[in-house]
């Protein structure tokens, strides 16, 4: 039995894969002050549903896969550890100057952003290694000892060390680490060449500082998670989802917590790719995960999930760049709990503020006073107040309507239903723009894509989003309300290893490249033989970061071979680079020299295959519900008015029978809205296929 748990801003999603490979889904409210409580509450719901005690359920579990927003929330709220930054003498402003970009280059009123680690806690280490890896200035060990004494006096909780060109020669960084161990015992530290051996000082320094600042917090959190699970009866393996779309043991993530920044959301494209392969032949897949707080959009391009190092926490250039590879996810504040408000000029906005888990939308009756997207959908008749979360939660329709009347309809001078419809329309437009940013702006036509709707609120406006974008098909998976948790069951135990080695297409250093790739392969094999030893199978993937000569930025190109033995292999990589560059930037320059900069090897250990495609009842979602869905309900569409919509039960719909809206398709965890122009059917794999 496996458990996959994703802790979101509003709900904690749990999917249980039982001993017969059947899936069971549960949702519990997230407790922001104690996220582990939401995990245990969701597990308690599962235990009750299966007529077991919590201890009995947990004792049967071999694995718990956990996605969490704890790391990113700590950064955003400023609750990370008190961290010091050590860098080469003469370069204390790496985190201050960043990369020089500005969102508004002519806005001189905007305050200069604060560095991730304040200058008061930045210390210069007398040393210097040049780009060739040669020692220019020897390390002053006495100065490092004095710095350690100062850090102890200032009660520093963690240390980030990023010395110039440590990626060419890590000797000085390693010695600084030894001195910190000796003179600052018990204080965790991060060495940049171990964490992120990549070019560009700001990105390497930023990732190192972020990782170090999270170590005390995530060590306590993951230690508390495993301890409380053990106390409750769990003796299996605890894995944590990573930003790269894989998973690692909780202990390994505690050592490198930067891996957990996009934990959870990174699983949505894993699941989206799986469901798209089952029910669509579109070359590209748009995955939209609608949570209570955010709308997360990601992409699968030609079967591959793009990674990016351009991940900013906060606004670009004003926030902090992780500088660390992660799945490319675009997030906007447009979830089910996003607050609708009217500005002083009489314009309606939805988000980015959110009611979150506490107090939640007005209709939850938990103290919320501001109207939200969920309140609007309830007022429009899309959501059944008596059957929310399978009837476990009663919604207050009157309170939701009053909040919309007072805060939106009244100020705008329109009717209640028009105001609720406007809230949904504005939220829809915000979501459309988020998708356009990650598709149209990257040369991908949504008309050649399938839209996967994930998250509990996805079905409320996915048809409207698809119609605006021109997507011909929408897929709502049966586990869509817990898409990230479902993706966790499909993910692999994964670790990425990187090295920097410069060479060019005209003077290619075969021996040097092969040496680097062999070292990376050995690191991957160590991972396979260690944490991945119990996997059913494994593979190692190689990529290279390359650019045209004199370009500033590299693009990533997959490598078919792990060694270069002849000219044909190099020619293949060169052609693949040209093709990738043309796909991204619509231009190729075959006459230019190509520079190869960074090399990556990724070990993927397939712990257990996801059984969704097996025959019969295996791999299908099973829920316990107290009522059936049938009949009709009056709902409201903006520009159309009130209509009678047929009600369908998501779980009991027959496969391959085509229906036409207006309709509402309900399950215990989601509601899907189809207007009169939309046809839909349940597929053999269990998903809902909709054609706007």
> What band does 146 get if pLDDT is binned at 50, 70 and 90?
very high
Answer whether the bond into residue 675 is a cis peptide, omega within 30°. no
Q: b/e for 521-558, b at 16 or more Cβ within 10 A? A: bebbeebbeebbeebeebebebbbbbbbeeeeebbbbe
> What band does 616 get if pLDDT is binned at 50, 70 and 90?
very low
Average pLDDT (292-314) is 83
Token code pair at residue 508:
């290619």
Asked whether the predicted pLDDT for residue 148 surpasses 70, the reply is yes
Q: Are 125 and 143 in contact (CB under 8 A)?
A: yes
- The sign of the torsion formed by the CA atoms of 136, 138, 139, 143 equals negative
Q: Residue written as tokens 């929330």?
A: 73
Position 613 scores a pLDDT of 46
Of 477, 652, 487, whose CA–CA distance to 15 is shortest?
487
Average pLDDT (334-358) is 86
Around 138, how many Cα atoms within 13 Å sit in the side-chain half-sphere?
3
Position 614 scores a pLDDT of 42
> What band does 303 get if pLDDT is binned at 50, 70 and 90?
confident
| Burial class of residue 142, CB neighbours in 10 A (0-12, 13-18, 19+) | exposed
> What band does 619 get if pLDDT is binned at 50, 70 and 90?
low
Find the range with the poorest average confidence among 278-292, 325-339, 371-385.
325-339
Token code pair at residue 597:
């900069």
C-alpha span between 149 and 444 (Å, rounded) = 55
Chain-centroid distance, C-alpha 463:
23
C-alpha span between 15 and 620 (Å, rounded) = 11
Token code pair at residue 495:
């670790």
Asked whether the predicted pLDDT for residue 139 surpasses 80, the reply is yes
C-alpha span between 370 and 406 (Å, rounded) = 10
Q: Summarize pLDDT for 3-62 with one digit per residue, the tens.
A: 999 887 677 889 999 888 888 888 888 887 788 898 999 999 999 989 999 999 999 999
Find the range with the poorest average confidence among 80-89, 441-450, 548-557, 608-617.
608-617
- SS3 labels along 449-513: EEEEEECCCHHHCHHHHHHHHCCCEEEECCCHHHHHHHHHHHCCEEEEEEEEEEEECCCCCHHHH
Q: Are 475 and 452 in contact (CB under 8 A)?
A: yes
Mean pLDDT, the chain, whole residue set = 89
Position 624 scores a pLDDT of 54
Position 530 scores a pLDDT of 92
- CA angle 208/213/219 to nearest 5° reads 110
C-alpha span between 396 and 56 (Å, rounded) = 36
Q: Summarize pLDDT for 645-662 with one digit per residue, the tens.
A: 999 998 888 888 999 989
Find the range with the poorest average confidence among 390-394, 484-488, 522-526, 561-565.
390-394
C-alpha span between 332 and 101 (Å, rounded) = 22
Asked whether the predicted pLDDT for residue 393 surpasses 60, the reply is yes
Asked whether the predicted pLDDT for residue 593 surpasses 70, the reply is yes
Token code pair at residue 544:
């290279």
| Burial class of residue 571, CB neighbours in 10 A (0-12, 13-18, 19+) | exposed
Asked whether the predicted pLDDT for residue 134 surpasses 90, the reply is yes
24: which strand partners? 16, 622
Asked whether the predicted pLDDT for residue 585 surpasses 80, the reply is yes
C-alpha span between 656 and 688 (Å, rounded) = 10
C-alpha span between 611 and 148 (Å, rounded) = 53
Position 615 scores a pLDDT of 38
Q: Summarize pLDDT for 357-392 with one digit per residue, the tens.
A: 678 899 998 888 999 999 999 999 999 888 887 777
Of 527, 456, 494, 56, whose CA–CA distance to 240 is shortest?
494
Q: What is the dihedral of CA 483, 485, 487, 490, to 10 degrees?
A: -140
Token code pair at residue 685:
């794999």
- CA angle 648/652/656 to nearest 5° reads 85
Sorted by where each starts, the structural domains of the chain and their CATH numbers stand as: 2-75+218-260 (3.30.420.40), 82-213 (3.40.50), 268-332+436-489 (3.30.420), 338-426 (no CATH), 493-606 (no CATH)
Asked whether the predicted pLDDT for residue 558 surpasses 80, the reply is yes
Position 208 scores a pLDDT of 97
Tally of CB atoms within 10 A around 511 = 8
Of 517, 514, 506, whose CA–CA distance to 595 is shortest?
506
Overall size of the chain counted in residues = 692
* pTM (predicted TM-score): 0.85
Position 609 scores a pLDDT of 66
Q: Residue written as tokens 């939220």?
A: 427
C-alpha span between 175 and 182 (Å, rounded) = 11
DSSP SS3 for 144:
helix
Residue 30: phi and psi, rounded to 5, are -75, 140
């Amino acid at each position: 039995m496996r458990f996959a748990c994703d802790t979101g801003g509003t709900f904690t999603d749990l999917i249980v894969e039982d001993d017969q490979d059947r899936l069971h889904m549960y949702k519990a409210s997230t407790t922001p002050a104690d996220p582990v409580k939401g995990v245990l509450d969701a597990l308690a719901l599962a235990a009750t549903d299966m007529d077991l005690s919590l201890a009995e359920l947990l004792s049967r579990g071999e694995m718990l896969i956990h996605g969490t927003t704890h790391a990113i929330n700590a950064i955003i709220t400023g609750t990370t550890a008190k961290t010091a930054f050590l860098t080469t003498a003469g370069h204390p402003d790496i985190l201050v100057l960043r990369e020089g970009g500005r969102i508004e280059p002519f806005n001189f009123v905007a305050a200069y952003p604060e560095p991730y680690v304040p200058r008061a806690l930045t210390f210069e280490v007398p040393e210097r290694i040049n780009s060739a890896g040669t020692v220019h200035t020897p390390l002053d060990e006495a100065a490092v000892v004095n710095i350690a004494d100062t850090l102890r006096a200032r009660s520093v909780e963690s240390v980030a060390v990023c010395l110039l060109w440590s990626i060419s020669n890590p000797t000085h960084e390693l010695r600084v680490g030894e001195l910190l161990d000796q003179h600052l015992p018990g204080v965790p530290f991060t060495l940049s060449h171990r964490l992120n051996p990549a070019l560009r000082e700001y990105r390497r320094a930023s990732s190192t500082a972020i990782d170090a600042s999270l170590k005390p917090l995530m060590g306590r959190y993951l230690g508390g998670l495993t301890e409380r699970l053990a106390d409750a009866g769990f003796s299996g393996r605890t894995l944590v989802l990573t930003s790269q779309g894989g998973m690692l043991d909780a202990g390994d993530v505690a050592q490198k917590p930067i891996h957990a920044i996009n934990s959870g959301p990174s699983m949505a494209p894993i699941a989206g790719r799986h469901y798209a392969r089952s029910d669509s032949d579109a070359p590209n897949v748009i995955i939209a995960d609608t949570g209570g707080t955010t709308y997360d959009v990601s992409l699968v391009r030609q079967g591959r999930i793009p990674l990016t190092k351009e991940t900013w926490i906060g606004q670009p250039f004003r926030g902090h760049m992780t500088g660390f590879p992660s799945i490319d996810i675009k997030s906007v504040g447009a979830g089910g709990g996003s607050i609708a408000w009217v500005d002083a000029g009489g314009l309606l906005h939805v988000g980015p503020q959110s009611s979150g888990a506490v107090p939640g939308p007005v209709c939850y009756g938990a103290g919320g006073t501001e109207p939200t997207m969920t309140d609007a959908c309830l007022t429009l008749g899309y959501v059944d107040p008596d059957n929310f979360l399978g009837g476990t939660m009663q919604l207050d329709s009157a309170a939701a309507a009053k909040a919309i009347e007072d805060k939106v309809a009244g100020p705008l001078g329109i009717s209640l239903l028009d105001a609720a419809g406007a809230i949904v329309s504005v939220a829809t437009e915000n979501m459309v723009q988020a998708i356009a940013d990650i598709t149209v702006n990257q040369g991908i036509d949504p008309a050649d894509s399938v839209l996967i709707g994930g998250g509990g609120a996805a079905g409320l406006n996915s048809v409207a989003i698809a119609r605006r974008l021109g997507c011909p098909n929408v897929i709502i998976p049966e586990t869509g309300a817990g898409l990230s948790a479902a993706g966790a069951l499909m993910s692999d135990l994964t670790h990425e290893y990187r090295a920097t080695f410069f060479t060019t297409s005209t003077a290619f250093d075969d021996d040097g490249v092969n040496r680097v790739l062999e070292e990376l392969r050995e690191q991957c094999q160590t991972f396979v033989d260690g944490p991945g030893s119990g996997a059913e199978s494994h593979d190692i993937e190689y990529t290279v970061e390359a650019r045209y000569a004199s370009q500033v930025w590299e693009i990533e190109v997959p490598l078919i071979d792990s060694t270069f033995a002849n000219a044909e292999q190099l020619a293949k990589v060169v052609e693949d680079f040209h093709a990738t560059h043309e796909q991204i930037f619509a231009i190729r320059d075959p006459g230019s020299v190509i520079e190869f900069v960074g090399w990556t090897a990724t070990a993927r250990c397939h712990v257990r295959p996801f059984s969704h495609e097996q025959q019969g009842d295996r791999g299908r979602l099973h829920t316990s519900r107290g009522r059936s869905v049938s009949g009709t309900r009056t709902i409201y569409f903006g520009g159309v008015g009130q209509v009678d919509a047929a009600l369908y039960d998501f779980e009991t719909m027959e496969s391959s029978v085509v229906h036409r809206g207006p309709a509402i398709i309900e399950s215990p965890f989601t509601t899907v809205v189809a207007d009169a122009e939309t046809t839909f059917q349940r597929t053999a794999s269990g998903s809902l296929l909709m054609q706007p």
